Structures are given as structure tokens and as C-alpha cells.
């Protein structure tokens, strides 16, 4: 996918309509910017007003909660310093005695009376550290082991007489301990050491337990819609109470202000979070409001603004289109006609009914294209005749050249072998010449070309007896592709006569036909003596001079005394298939040589100079 900015830049340079539309849209940018700024500004003002109102409501609820906790604080100090209670708890016997039982009953009566007066409390209880007994205004006496090892008890001993809040989580205490509300989730307990200012390693503990539902009543007054939520949190963000005790409060990014807008996790809808923190207790109330209700009115105004902006954009595009149709469209039609002429479609005419300057230009273009067509046709026909004659000359030159070499082979065989092999050689040779000299057919399929080539190879195998082996690999997809005749034979001839002539045994010629990189690849390789590096560079440089550029078949003379076969094959390739065809040579001295022909699939009719090669093949 192309980058956006380069694509827009290219469209701006190439299209008049795009430029006109861009100019009209640029005019709208200030209007759109002011409208969007006003919309965003109104949302910020609305958020600030809602935040102020919500903060006032949260502060009122927090004051009520702080007052409740202050009452518990004062009550705990009064009970912890009560001389009568401390006197009744003075015994340090680890086992209950009759005297301790009487004293504990008096303590329970005192706690029950205090609980009756303050009936919003869940219970009042005292933990006797020596006998490990909990005296509860609700459940009476109960022995509870392992409380001395609890972290909260150690923290309380080190608090220096200060109170401690215990907010149990669901699995913090054992099931037996959770039978007491003090150690059960959903309750808040204020802990204070009895006789706090008296030194000692063991301290009795006063528990004042309050249900979280009592604190939740203050939070419920803040909720005015079903989808609003309120949470009461400790300074370390532990949940004390909330509209839904089983739902964790949303995370609050550290260091942010007391109001933020974020995306809701479950629904993905925007919601507003407002927080108020108590200076006295450090507790905070977090309220979550859906932003949809807050933005209801501004959303409607914003929708109207978007409609107006959209209509303005559409109107700008429509106006630019009208202007384009009247002025730029004729220019685009002219540009289209010029492109068609450039790619060779000289029959192109531009229909028009205009009588203005653009009509004059289109009429002049039509006349110019017609005149150009006549001039090019005359010159092109002359070039075709010359190229066709040159192709026929080269086609005829290769047959005598091969014939002389083959007659030499027959002469050598006649001196060394009996007439039976000579008969087979002559038979194959006659078949080869019959196809080579065929008139009116310049192309054969790859399968026919290989079959034709095997006649010549059989002649050479008879000559070399057991010194020459041939392997042919031809992909099924290549068999029906057409190629110019007698392309491979000169290359195979060079491989045998120049590469394998001096090899006494194990001479190999391999022919490989396949499709590669969108072209037909024909390779002839041998394991003969190869070509030296200097000679190979010379061959490549000479063959590189051949081209069909600028309507020239080649740049050097036709008559030459070396590289005749290779030069002839490449010249015919270039003439017939154009510059998309090529021939490459690779060789390693004393190891062998490989010659590869690259032919466009489809033959001359698929090359860029389609008309010239089509006529040359006739």
C-alpha cells in the first residue's frame, strides 16, 4: 500500500479536479476549526461544572462518614481509658477462673449497654490477651487462638496508643475466625489497645465493629441513575463499601487530578471519574458517571454541526465538479488522446460538440493524429521490408554452414566404420535437413524443436561412438511454446565440435527447457574443455554489441570470420523477439560451458515491437 502523503502529492500534480476540490476544501478549514474548537470548549466547560457539583456532593457524604468515624474514635478512647473496665481485665491467668468469669460478665454488660445506646454498631468486643478470649456484646464470650500472632496485633502494640482500622478481605482470616464479624469481609472495625498509655508486652484490645452497609447509606444518596457507581476507598485504594460490593473499583492513575475521562472496560463507552479525598482520615470517595448522560445536549449540537460541515464539504465538491466539467474536462480528454497516440493507437479521435477554444484544439488534434498515421505507416512499411529481407538472409546462411560440418562427419565415419552406421547417419541427416529447409514455417513448438534436434544428435553419437551421451529435460508446460527454428542446433554443434572434440570418453551434452521469471529458458551445457577467461570476455563483449535499438538490426557488419554461430543465433533472437530476448554464456575452463537462451513466452507476438516481428515471420 503506497504512503498517503506521496499519493496525495501525485494526485495534486496530475489532476486539475483534485486541485480545484482542494482549494474549495481549504476555504472550509477555518470554519471547521472554529466549530470543532467551540464544541470541545463547551465540553470542557460542562465537565468542569459537573466536576464541581459532584465534588460538593462527595464532600458532604465524606463529612458524614468522617463524623461517624470520629464518633467511633471518641467512643474507643473513652472505653479504652475506662478505669473500671481496665480493672475488670487486670487478671493475667491464661485459664478462666470463677473470679475472671464474674469480671467478664460485668464487662459484657457494660459493652451491651453501650451497644444498645449506639445501635448502628454491629458489635462492641474486647480481646483478653492472656486468656485469649473475645468478649462480644453480640455473641458473649468466645475463645479465639492465634490472634496474638496476627499482624494487626503487632501493629497495634507498636502504634503508641493510636487506633487502628481493620478491614478484612474475603480470605484473610480462617473460617472459624470469620464467625466473628470483626474478622469477616463487609465489616469495618476500629481497634485500640485497652489502657493504651500503660506499658506492657501484652495488651487487651477493644474492637468497635461497624457494618460497611451503614457507610454505604451515605454513598447511596449520591447515586441518581442505575449506571452510576460510587466507591469508598482506603488510602491504599482498598474497597470499604460501594454500590456493588462485589465489583472492584476502576483503577486510578497515580498522580492525576481528581477528575478524569476514560473508556469503560466492559462496554468501551466513555465515563467520568470524580474523586474526593478526606483530609482527616485519608479515605476517598470515587464516583463513576457515564459520559453519555453528561454529553447528551452537547452531542445533539455537535451532530448538527457535523451535518452542516458535511453539507459544506459536499457543496464544495459539487462546485468543483461543475467548474471541472466546464474547463478541466476538455484538457483531460486531450491528455487521454495524446497518451493513446504515444502508445501507437493512431486511430484515436476525440469526439466533441464544442465551438469554443477547446473545440478548436480537439479538431486540430484529430487532424494531426490522422496525418501522423499516414506518415508513420509509409515509413514503417519500408522498415518492415528491409528487416524481413535481413531475416531471410541470416536464415539461409545457417544451413550451408551446418551442412559443411556434417559432411565432414560423414566422411570421417566412412573411413572408420562400416556402411550400416553410415546408412543410419544419412537417414537422420536427411530428416534433419527436411525440417531445416521447410518453407513457410519459421516457428516450431519446443517439443518439435527437441525432436528435430535429436536427429542431429544421433548423427554425432554415431560419429563419437561411446564418447558422447545426451540428456534432455523438458517441463510439460514448455512443450507447446513456439520458438524460432534452428536456434538450438548451432549451440549444440559448438558444444560437440569445440567442447567435446578432444574428449576421449564420458562426453556429455545436457539440454534443459523450463519456464523461469516469466520467460522460456533453453539451456545447452557440456562438460568439455570450456573457454578461457580472456576468450570468454571477448565473446561476451562482441555479442553485447548486438541490439535492435533505434530500428537497427545490428551495429556491425554481417560478414565475420569468428563467433559466426553464436553471433547468428543472438542476431536472430534480437531481430525476431526484440530486446526482451537474450543469450547468456558461462564457462569454466576444463569443466564445461553453458549457453542459455531467454525467450519471451508467446514468441514474437508478445514482444514490445509486436507489429514488426509479426510481419518478419511471414
Query: Last residue of some domain: 296, 330, 345?
Result: 296
Residue 501 forms part of a structural domain = yes
Same domain, 129 and 183: yes
Same domain, 202 and 255: no
Query: Last residue of some domain: 189, 207, 225?
Result: 207
The model's confidence at residue 458, banded by pLDDT at 50, 70 and 90, is: confident
Beta bridge partners of residue 164, listed in sequence order: 191
pLDDT at 433: 62
Q: What is the pLDDT of residues 222-278, one digit of tens each?
A: 888 778 889 998 888 888 888 877 777 887 765 556 777 777 766 677 788 888 888
The CA radius of gyration of the chain, in Å to the nearest whole number, is: 52
Residue 63 forms part of a structural domain = no
Q: For the chain, what percentages of helix, strand and coil (3-state, to nearest 5) are there?
A: 55, 15, 30
Same domain, 601 and 461: yes
Give the three-class secondary structure for 421: helix
Read off the C-alpha cell for 234: 482506603
Q: What is the pLDDT of residues 282-310, one digit of tens each?
A: 889 988 888 776 776 677 777 888 888 88
The CA-atom distances, in angstroms, between 158 and each of 93, 193, 468, 471, 479 are 24, 10, 105, 98, 97
The model's confidence at residue 328, banded by pLDDT at 50, 70 and 90, is: low
Candidates 545, 520, 538, 540; CA nearest to 586 is 540
Give CA–CA dist 271/11, Å, rounded: 42
Task: Supply the range of the domain harboring residue 271.
Answer: 217-296
The model's confidence at residue 511, banded by pLDDT at 50, 70 and 90, is: very high
Q: In what order do the strands lie in the sheet with 133-136?
A: 140-143, 133-136, 123-128, 205-211, 187-193, 164-166
Give the three-class secondary structure for 501: coil
**All residues at 6 or more sequence positions from 209 whose CB lies less than 8 Å from its CB, including other chains:** 121, 122, 123, 124, 125, 181, 182, 187, 188, 189
Q: What is the pLDDT of residues 116-161, one digit of tens each?
A: 999 889 999 999 988 889 999 988 888 888 888 888 888 888 888 8
Residue 169 forms part of a structural domain = yes
Give CA–CA dist 189/164, Å, rounded: 8
472 near 509, Cβ under 8 Å?
A: no
Same domain, 246 and 202: no
Residue 277 maps to which CATH number?
3.30.450.20
Q: Are strands 592-600 and 519-526 parallel, antiparallel or unpaired?
A: antiparallel
Same domain, 543 and 593: yes
The DSSP result for 226-257, as a single string, is: TT-EEEEE-TT--EEEESSTTSPPPP--TT--
Residue 472 forms part of a structural domain = yes
147 near 132, Cβ under 8 Å?
A: yes
Residue 435 backbone phi and psi in degrees, to 5: -80, -35
Burial profile 102-136: b = 16 or more Cβ within 10 angstroms, e = fewer: ebbeebbebbbebbeeeeebbbbbbbbbbbebbbb
Does 377 have pLDDT greater than 80? no
pLDDT at 556: 47
DSSP code for 121: S
Residue 163 forms part of a structural domain = yes
Same domain, 285 and 195: no
* Mean pLDDT, rounded, for 510-519: 91
Same domain, 221 and 197: no
pLDDT at 593: 93
DSSP code for 201: S
The percentage of the chain sitting over the pLDDT mark of 90, rounded to a whole number, equals 14
Does 459 have pLDDT greater than 70? yes
Same domain, 414 and 549: yes
The DSSP result for 559-602, as a single string, is: --SSSHHHHHHHHHHHHHH-TT-EEEEEEETTTEEEEEEEEETT
The residue whose grid cell reads 520467460 is 519
pTM above 0.75, yes or no: no
Residue 562 forms part of a structural domain = yes
Read off the C-alpha cell for 154: 503487632
- Helix (H) / strand (E) containing 141: strand 140-143
pLDDT at 255: 55
Residue 189 maps to which CATH number?
3.30.450
Does 608 have pLDDT greater than 60? no
Same domain, 127 and 251: no
End-to-end, the C-alpha distance of the chain in Å comes to 45
Residue 407 maps to which CATH number?
3.30.565.10
Q: What is the pLDDT of residues 522-547, one digit of tens each?
A: 999 999 888 999 999 999 888 887 75
Same domain, 201 and 140: yes
pLDDT at 560: 52
Task: Centre a 10 Å sphere on the Cβ of residue 263 and count the other Cβ atoms it contains.
Answer: 10
Query: Last residue of some domain: 207, 229, 258?
Result: 207
Same domain, 429 and 549: yes
Task: Say how many domains are in the chain.
Answer: 3
Q: Say which residue, 518 or 604, is predicted with more confidence.
A: 518
pLDDT at 1: 43
CA 428, 429, 430, 431: dihedral to nearest 10 degrees? 50
Read off the C-alpha cell for 19: 486541485
Candidates 135, 154, 155; CA nearest to 144 is 135
Residue 544 forms part of a structural domain = yes
Q: Say which residue, 11 or 480, is predicted with more confidence.
A: 480
Look over the chain and give the mean of its residue pLDDT values, rounded to a whole number: 79
Q: Are strands 229-233 and 239-242 parallel, antiparallel or unpaired?
A: antiparallel
Q: What is the pLDDT of residues 52-62, one digit of tens each?
A: 888 888 899 99
Same domain, 196 and 232: no
Residue 452 forms part of a structural domain = yes
Give CA–CA dist 429/452, Å, rounded: 10
574 near 607, Cβ under 8 Å?
A: no
Amino acid at each position: 500500500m503506497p504512503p498517503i502523503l506521496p499519493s496525495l502529492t501525485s494526485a495534486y500534480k496530475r489532476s486539475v479536479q483534485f486541485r480545484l476540490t482542494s482549494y474549495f476544501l481549504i476555504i472550509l478549514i477555518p470554519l471547521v476549526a472554529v466549530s470543532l474548537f467551540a464544541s470541545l470548549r463547551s465540553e470542557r466547560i460542562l465537565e468542569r461544572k459537573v466536576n464541581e457539583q459532584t465534588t460538593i456532593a462527595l464532600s458532604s457524604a465524606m463529612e458524614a462518614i468522617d463524623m461517624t468515624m470520629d464518633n467511633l474514635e471518641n467512643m474507643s478512647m473513652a472505653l479504652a481509658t475506662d478505669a473500671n473496665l481496665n480493672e475488670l481485665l487486670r487478671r493475667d491467668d491464661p485459664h478462666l477462673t470463677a473470679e475472671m468469669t464474674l469480671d467478664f460478665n460485668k464487662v459484657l454488660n457494660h459493652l451491651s449497654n453501650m451497644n444498645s445506646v449506639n445501635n448502628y454498631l454491629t458489635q462492641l468486643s474486647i480481646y483478653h490477651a492472656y486468656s485469649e478470649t473475645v468478649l462480644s456484646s453480640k455473641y458473649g464470650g468466645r475463645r479465639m487462638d492465634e490472634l496474638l500472632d496476627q499482624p494487626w496485633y503487632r501493629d497495634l502494640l507498636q502504634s503508641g496508643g493510636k487506633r487502628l482500622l481493620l478491614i478484612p478481605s474475603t480470605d484473610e482470616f480462617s473460617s472459624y475466625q470469620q464467625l466473628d464479624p470483626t474478622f469477616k469481609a463487609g465489616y469495618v472495625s476500629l481497634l485500640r489497645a485497652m489502657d493504651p498509655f500503660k506499658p506492657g508486652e501484652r495488651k487487651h484490645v477493644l474492637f468497635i465493629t461497624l457494618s460497611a452497609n451503614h457507610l454505604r447509606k451515605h454513598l447511596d444518596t449520591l447515586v441518581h441513575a442505575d449506571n452510576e457507581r460510587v466507591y469508598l476507598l482506603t488510602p491504599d485504594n482498598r474497597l470499604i463499601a460501594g454500590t456493588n460490593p462485589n465489583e472492584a473499583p476502576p483503577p486510578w492513575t497515580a498522580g492525576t487530578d481528581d477528575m478524569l475521562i476514560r473508556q469503560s472496560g466492559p462496554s468501551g463507552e466513555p465515563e467520568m471519574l470524580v474523586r474526593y479525598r478526606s483530609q482527616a482520615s485519608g479515605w476517598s470517595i470515587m464516583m463513576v458517571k457515564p459520559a453519555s448522560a453528561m454529553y447528551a445536549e452537547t452531542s445533539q449540537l455537535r451532530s448538527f454541526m457535523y451535518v452542516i460541515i458535511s453539507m459544506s464539504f459536499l457543496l464544495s465538491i459539487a462546485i468543483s465538479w461543475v467548474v471541472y466539467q466546464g474547463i478541466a474536462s476538455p484538457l483531460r480528454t486531450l491528455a487521454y488522446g495524446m497518451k493513446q497516440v504515444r502508445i501507437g493507437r493512431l486511430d484515436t479521435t476525440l469526439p466533441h460538440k464544442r465551438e469554443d477554444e477547446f473545440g478548436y484544439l480537439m479538431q486540430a488534434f484529430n487532424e494531426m493524429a490522422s496525418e501522423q498515421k499516414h506518415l508513420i505507416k509509409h515509413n514503417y512499411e519500408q522498415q518492415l521490408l528491409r528487416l524481413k529481407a535481413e531475416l531471410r538472409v541470416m536464415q539461409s546462411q545457417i544451413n550451408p554452414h551446418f551442412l559443411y560440418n556434417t559432411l565432414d562427419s560423414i566422411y570421417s565415419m566412412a573411413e572408420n566404420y562400416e556402411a550400416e552406421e553410415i546408412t543410419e547417419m544419412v537417414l537422420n541427416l536427411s530428416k534433419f535437413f527436411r525440417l531445416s529447409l521447410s518453407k513457410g514455417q519459421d516457428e516450431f513448438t519446443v517439443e518439435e524443436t527437441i525432436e528435430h534436434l535429436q536427429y542431429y544428435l544421433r548423427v554425432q553419437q554415431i560419429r563419437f561412438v561411446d564418447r558422447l551421451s545426451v540428456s534432455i529435460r523438458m517441463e510439460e508446460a514448455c512443450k507447446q511454446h513456439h520458438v524460432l527454428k534452428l536456434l538450438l542446433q548451432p549451440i549444440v554443434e559448438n558444444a560437440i565440435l569445440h567442447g567435446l572434440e578432444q574428449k576421449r570418453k564420458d562426453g556429455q551434452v545436457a539440454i534443459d527447457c523450463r519456464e523461469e521469471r516469466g520467460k522460456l529458458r533453453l539451456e545447452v551445457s557440456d562438460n568439455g574443455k570450456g573457454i578461457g577467461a580472456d576468450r570468454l570476455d571477448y565473446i561476451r563483449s562482441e555479442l553485447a554489441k548486438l541490439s535492435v535499438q533505434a530500428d537497427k538490426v545490428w551495429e556491425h557488419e554481417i560478414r565475420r570470420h569468428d563467433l559466426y554461430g553464436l553471433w547468428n543465433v543472438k542476431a536472430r533472437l534480437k531481430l525476431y523477439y526484440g530486446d526482451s530476448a537474450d543469450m547468456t554464456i558461462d564457462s569454466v575452463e576444463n569443466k564445461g560451458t553453458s549457453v542459455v537462451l531467454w525467450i519471451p513466452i508467446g514468441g514474437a507476438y508478445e514482444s514490445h515491437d509486436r507489429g514488426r516481428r509479426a510481419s518478419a515471420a511471414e
